[in-house]
Structure 1
Amino acid sequence: MRPARTAVRRPRHAVDDRPFIVIWESTRACPLACLHCRAEAQPARDPRELTGADAFRLMEQVAAFGKPAPLFVITGGDPFQRTDLEELIAYGTSLGLRVAVSPSGTPTLTRENLVAVRNAGAVALSLSLDGSTAERHDAFRGVDGVYDWTLDGWRTARELGLKVQINTTVTRHSLPDLADIAALVRREGAMLWSGFLLVPTGRGADLDALTPEETEDVLHFLYDMGSVVATKTTEGHHFRRVVLQRTILERHGERPGLGPLHARLSARAAELGLYEGETRSARRPPMDVSSGRGFVFVSHTGEVHPSGFLPVSAGNVRHHPLTDVYRGSALFTTLREPGLLRGKCGRCEFRAVCGGSRSRAYGATGDFLAADPWCSYEPGSFPYQDELREVAPCAL
């Protein structure tokens, strides 16, 4: 039997003591006009942004969680809109933080800037790709040329030795293109391909939602793609349920019954030859991290959120240390208690390892403890409950 730890990874330290990852929205300034933008990014920087001195104090607070320190991701907007980005990366690195940067695909994504980011100490880069062609990607991002800037930056970053994660927003726009995007990620090479399941917040509130059944098909397709590219999800916590279910079903030589979207995506993947040739020796196990449970987001003004897509603040780092907010605020401690979940998420046997998207529940209902509206799983319906307890006792 495959051990539980190889199916779903858990952080090495208790998530009520320290986060696995801290994401800082360094600015909301960005020249793009992406259809899904959580931050509703603007061309100009907000005068209320954390200053360089504020940012230094924030990174000191992150380091205060202890070693190994959480991964510290500088995102935006576009972080390259900050003139002190290189200095910020260098200071975080000097504190012992692993620093990653998540820039936008703009003309600032130059070799010169990427060399500076690497030399300052950044270890990874996260880029967005929402179409397999310039026409599809640029239409989603709202500016012509973004696709080419993104691919050029991606190739340059890999050449410079930076790890690259590619993020794809799963919307009706990108659904027909997911297999082609997977083929592009496989061809160009990436540390990780992340499927972001849309949360109805910011400009993303205006986009058409997937049905729960379509979401299930997408999650299983991402699992299938895990044999050829390393995959994960963002705000798709039920991917961990899918991984556990598929792990057990494969022991029995079974496959789940899925819908027409999965069939279309699989057929296109086969046309592209994604199931042929060299495969990964092992799948990348997803990390058991969720909003407020191993994950924390700090806004451009210093507000502390369980996720960038859950606009409820637990405090501000200008007034309260991040360590205190994360460990002791009522918002964060509530989110770390799966027994408080409501609806079918609260009844689900996977609630401790999945728990659904608290951001999507809040965006759809105004209640961050409500059921995730994009989940089609009926609690208790998985046929091998005893084996589930063996493979993942943490899920129950």
Structure 2
Amino acid sequence: MHRWPLEEKPLLVFYETTKACPLACRHCRANALLKPLPTELSTEEAKRFIEDLTGFGRPYPILILTGGDPLTRDDTLELIDHARSFGIPVALSPAVSTKLLNDDILRELKGRVSSISISLDGAKPETHNYIRRTALERIDVFRTTLEVFNKLRSYGIEFQVNTAVMRLNVHELPQVFKIVRDSGANAWEVFFLIRVGRGMELEPLDPWETEDVVQFLYEASLYGLPIRTVEAPFFRRIIMQRGSGIKYEGGKLYWELTKQLRELMGDPPSNAKPPSFTPTRDGYGIIFVASDGSIYPSGFLPLTLGNVRKDNIVKVYREHPILRTIREARFNGKCGTCEFRNICGGSRARAYTELGDPLGSDPACIYEPTAK
């Protein structure tokens, strides 16, 4: 397989189709609302933006329709079909709702989307339901989410599970991993809290706890389920270190989580291989289009680069000075001297949120570069 030319085109294009959503999650990046905003792209504007993606050339990036909940839009299937007519692969990130994510829509989505992502933020109903508050309908979101896993599997639709990590749920991660692995999911994507949107109300982990969790994720990856991180690109540094034989002494949280993991799963297979990765980061291999057409490096980095209503997304991705600097790993502080800066590069979103500098060092990373 040829290396994806991340300098020329993103691997993933996220399109926040709407801010409307039946849930009111406590960590929602989008500050989702019950009703759509009048500023969101119309069907025709969205189609023109989708057509612009062909300018990246084949193979095209994966278009991920997210929100809010993309299923609140009446034209979502039309947009999916429009993308597919050009050969653009489409993935979907809906909210769990019995009114919207039901058997009828799953039958329509089968064969139309390459994958669906579903969130699970706790191993217990009280945790997940507390985080994933409902706004439109009174349902047990935890139970309904597990039912959706079963339905996706029965329809033969590939799916991944997304989990946002915060102090509120960190001790449940081994149990969440087991649920995800047993569900038949194709991957587990673990999001590390960025204090934007409603996430301002929640407490993230401190840097040493973050390191413990990401080291735990390395242990979990040895059980064969692909694991990816969002806003913790230093997972790749850990993969490189652990793969080269560097041991992690670990803090209290690491040993707690790893002990639970072994109790739940037994020892990993003797032939377990370290996970592989693609060195994407905010603005490098990833680009985000908000519901009003604004172009951001990622959904967690609301730094406006242009707007698809007037700017060509291919030109913005390839030529915007901020994105070129991010691609070239020209960062400030220790991220700029780190020997892992090309495969990691730190969370640009966290640097922007915490330090006001999208090129600053990631405050959640404890690693001290050997190069000075």
Which bin holds the TM-score, normalised by the shorter protein?
over 0.9
The TM-score with structure 1 as length reference comes to: 0.89
* Structure-1 separation of matches of 2:65 and 2:291: 10
Deviations 1:206-247 (A, max 9, x none): 211211111111111111111112211011100010000011
The TM-score with structure 2 as length reference comes to: 0.95
Paired residues of 1:170 and 1:195 also in contact (CA < 8 A): yes
* Structure-2 separation of matches of 1:31 and 1:12: 39
Q: CA deviation at 1:300?
A: 0.4
> 1:233 maps to which residue?
229
> 1:118 maps to which residue?
110
Unmatched 5+ stretches in structure 2: none
Q: CA deviation at 1:281?
A: 5.4
> 2:183 maps to which residue?
188
Q: CA deviation at 1:104?
A: 0.6
Report the more deviating stretch, 276-285 or 202-211: 276-285
Residue of structure 1 aligned with 2:89, choices 76, 91, 98: 98
Q: CA deviation at 1:85?
A: 0.9
> 1:366 maps to which residue?
356
Residue of structure 1 aligned with 2:160, choices 165, 181, 184: 165
Paired residues of 1:344 and 1:378 also in contact (CA < 8 A): yes
Q: 1:18/1:180 Cα in 2 relative to 1: closer, same or farther (>3 Å)?
A: same
Deviations 1:359-389 (A, max 9, x none): 00101011111110100111119xxxxxxxx
Check if 1:346 corresponds to 2:336: yes
Paired residues of 1:11 and 1:287 also in contact (CA < 8 A): no
Percent identical: 39
> 2:247 maps to which residue?
255
Alignment of 1:285-364 (within 5 A): 285-339=276-330, 341-364=331-354
Deviations 1:130-169 (A, max 9, x none): 0112221101112341112222222211221211110100
Q: 1:292 is aligned with what amino acid?
A: G
* Structure-1 separation of matches of 2:44 and 2:110: 22
Q: CA deviation at 1:97?
A: 0.8
Q: 2:12 is aligned with what amino acid?
A: I
Check if 1:34 corresponds to 2:30: no
Paired residues of 1:344 and 1:371 also in contact (CA < 8 A): yes
Paired residues of 1:73 and 1:102 also in contact (CA < 8 A): yes
* Structure-2 separation of matches of 1:277 and 1:226: 9
Q: CA deviation at 1:275?
A: 3.0
Q: CA deviation at 1:338?
A: 1.2
* Structure-1 separation of matches of 2:174 and 2:48: 43
SS at match of 1:74: strand
Unmatched 5+ stretches in structure 1: 1-9, 382-395
The Cα RMSD (Å) is: 1.7
Q: 1:380 is aligned with what amino acid?
A: T
Deviations 1:240-260 (A, max 9, x none): 1000001101xxxx5211111
Paired residues of 2:90 and 2:114 also in contact (CA < 8 A): yes
Report the more deviating stretch, 41-50 or 11-20: 11-20
Q: 1:206 is aligned with what amino acid?
A: E
Paired residues of 2:279 and 2:342 also in contact (CA < 8 A): no
Deviations 1:262-290 (A, max 9, x none): 00001111221x13476885444122111
Q: 1:281/1:248 Cα in 2 relative to 1: closer, same or farther (>3 Å)?
A: closer
SS at match of 2:306: coil
Q: How many positions carry a matched residue from both structures?
A: 366
SS at match of 1:300: coil
